[in-house]
Amino acid sequence: MNEMIDQLGNLYTGAIADTLDELGYHNQCLPSDIRPLADSMKVAGPVYTVLGKRRHYDDGVDPRYRQMDMLDAIPNGAVIILEPGNESSAAHWGELMTNTALQRGAKGIVINGGLRDCLQILDIGFPAFRKYHSPLTAAYRWNIDSFDIPIKVGNVTIEPGDYVLGDIDGVLIIPQAIIQEVVEQTVAVATKEDVVRASLQDGGNIRELFEEYKVF
Short-list 33, 6, 8, 29, CA closest to 17: 29
- CATH number, domain of 109, equals 3.50.30.40
Cα–Cα distance for residue pair 36/167, rounded to 1 Å: 7
Residue 49 lies in a domain: yes
Residue 181 lies in a domain: no
Residue 216 lies in a domain: no
Short-list 106, 89, 7, 15, CA closest to 54: 89
Which residues in the chain come in under a pLDDT of 50? none
Whole-number pLDDT of residue 57: 66
Name the domain count of the chain. 1
Residue 207 lies in a domain: no
For every residue of 191-202, DSSP letters joined together read HHHHHHHHHHHT
| Structure confidence by residue, pLDDT tens digits, 98-142 | 999 999 999 999 999 999 999 999 999 999 999 999 999 988 889
Residue 195 lies in a domain: no
Residue 114 lies in a domain: yes
Whole-number pLDDT of residue 195: 84
Whole-number pLDDT of residue 194: 82
Residue 64 lies in a domain: yes
Cα–Cα distance for residue pair 6/148, rounded to 1 Å: 23
Residue 204 lies in a domain: no
Q: pTM for this structure?
A: 0.92
Look up the domain containing 75 and give its range: 24-176
